[in-house]
Structure 1
Amino acid sequence: MKINMPFSNDKYRYSSGYLLFFFAAWSLWWSFYAMWLKNKLGLSGTEVGMLYSVNQFFSMIFMIAYGFLQDKLGTRKPLIWLIGVVITLSGPFLIYVYEPLLISSFKLGMMLGAVFFGLGYLAGYGLVDSFVEKISRRFNFEFGTARFWGCLGYAVGTFVGGIFFSINPHINFWCVSVMGVLFLIVNLLFKTEGNDEKVASSQVSTLTKQDFITIFKDSQFWFFVIFVVGTWSFYNIYDQQMFPVFYAGLFENPEMAPRVYGYLNSVQVILEAIGMALIPFLINRIGPKSALLLGGLIMTCRILGSAIFTDIYIISFIKMLHALEVPLFVISVFKFSVANFDKRLSSTMYLVGFNIASSIGIIVLSLPIGQLFDKIGYQSIFFLMAGIVILTIFFGYFTLSKKKHEPSVLEYVNS
């Protein structure tokens, strides 16, 4: 089916706005979360590991609910309104609730933060991605071309956030709330009602409990889950929990680290944005399975590089590999899902099959890795992670389906 030029499609423009403001908001605090916890609040590696584990555990609960509910809702927006409200309240929550509690009552702060972040960000990003992916198939544009704007928002947020963070992290947190207001404005203006929406909603509403159960009886689903746990979850622990602190430790002047990391992250995410726009066409050619395996190989190179080298310039260059790996994985997951499972259940597959599978690995491994960091440092952990990712790539090569998705004319009505 012919794909229209993106900017001629108002649904593409609004979808891009969702992604732009959501990921800008997330990057303003999430990019510096580990640095903030360890260097500003003085938490130990074990405490940071506990926070990541509990955050991921609660996010899993919301992912399950979001996946099932959004597949029932189609492109209707109640859950998107909820995400916008959480983003808008993030500044006051981080400054006046979360930070004081982590210092004075760590466990209470940990629990409240896990609910808030799980509801708005750690499950919310999957919800926003899957919501836009449904819109892209219904209204005839490539998801990756809209996801480009999410990456661009993340890059700008990290660039600005690195400067603000070195002055006062609270500036970052107030900027998050501003992004939340802009997100709510986009949601207010975006309309999907009309004949196409009525037809699509009636089709989606026919989903039954058995439709969801069928996914979990499919061996391909479980092969996919194992592959995700062995690759994406290990990589996320490395990239989110360990790399920022590891990178900051390479600097003689600790105050320079957040600013340089912000600049570096911005360049990386700009490259990632370009990848989001271009890589869908590569995946369409080689197939989602090959793209997933390629993404795993790139992960391995980055983790091994951090284990072998300690030169700031080499490590900075290695970080740029993230710009290739993320588009390959995120877009391939959606394309693998619609090629192998019921297209109406794309939110469930993305949030449960991909994000929850990854979260399980993070929950199980974050605390032990944090404890190992306190005792022995990074190098041995990086080698172990890279070895597990390599084994998982071999597993995926022999088990994952080679099916490719061929869109039909009716798909854009019945997504």
Structure 2
Amino acid sequence: MKNEIKKGNPFALLPLGVFLVLFVGSGIITGDFYKMPSIVAFLIAGGVALLFNRKVNLEEKMNVFCKGAGDTNIILMVIIFLLAGAFSNVAKTMGGVDSTVNLSLSILPSNLLVPGLFIIACFISVSMGTSVGTIAALAPIGLGIAQKTGIPVSLVIGAVVGGAMFGDNLSMISDTTIAAVRTQGCELKDKFKVNFLIVLPAAIITVILLAVITSGYIAIPNQSYEYELIKVLPYILVLVGALCGVNVFALLGSGVLFAGIIGIATKSFDLLGFIEAVSGGIGGMYELSLLSIVVGGVVGLIKFNGGIDYVLYFVTSKINSKKGAEFGIAALVSVIDLCTANNTVAIVAAGPLAKDIATKYDIDPRKTASILDIFSSCWQGVIPYGAQLLTAAGVAGISPVEILPYLYYPGLMFVCGILSIAFSKPIIDKVKSHNVA
């Protein structure tokens, strides 16, 4: 009987299968992977999960759902999402994005436009915490560079997308980073250090590749870009504060206030405008917050019905080492991201299971969080039906498929992620030694 409990119930995973069929099926049939909202698909999956285990009444099942939805990590994650949305929108409304972009372009050497644009995208995405926002801000600039130099548009846009995914994976206020950290129970700064060591080689190689490939094109003359340095300070505050280990709630709260004060002082908005910007930013996170709560409830039911136990049994029966478990986590989050076209959803869905596997095999939570974020982000940066490539292609007026050959960074990030699992011990030990010192 004890072994039977450990094996779990494979049919309890049916709700996850229902979600994937609904989401992916609607995308294939309609050609639009956003026709079926993720939250609707997960609600239907939750309804299927409630049909299991007839020995338990509906009220008790709903209690299980609510307990999973109201898990401490889920609620804390939701609050962080709301604060991150408020900060991002206030900083954007007061002109922080424009100033940050123009400051970066002012520093950029004219003969290194494309690799420089990649670096700028890295900085802005780390500061803003959104890959789509970074692409929307920089893709028009990249398009202009391509038109004036003759560099292929798809190459320049590929550099922008790559830089955007760098920050999506690493930013302290990125919803993917927040989800990975909260589901694995580690600190933002610690995950950043481990994650950064893994992907830094990919970024360096990307810069070199872009510099070599575009070296034969004629550079455009230096242009002047207007910016206000004071409007860049909120992003620097959040970045530095996070690296120094400031509590994320205090950090984002102070970031919102600081950006608001600068916005009012520079007359970008008045007090009511500041409040409206805060409200708009929070409103933009409603769907993601509700989705996280619903996913938490569905995962709670799947776990209650024995689905998680079965997956653990299946995974552990196929692997016999810590590295095998890490590869299993990477594969799990990769498949979910390819199916959902949303790396945050992939991390939220795979996170609890990854935590159980990590506990089973004594995997460092910082490494698990990094694996979740890296492998969901690298796939998210190359799927033609994802928001990132669709946004970039829409601005550039080209097909998302045309950008694929030039997505150097996501591909290299995948390779670095694989190598980090194969040679993980030296990296983790190095970070641990540094922290102890």
What is the TM-score when the length of structure 2 is the normalising length? 0.29
Task: Name the larger-Rg structure.
Answer: 2
What is the TM-score when the length of structure 1 is the normalising length? 0.30
Instruction: Name the structure with the higher helix share.
Output: 1
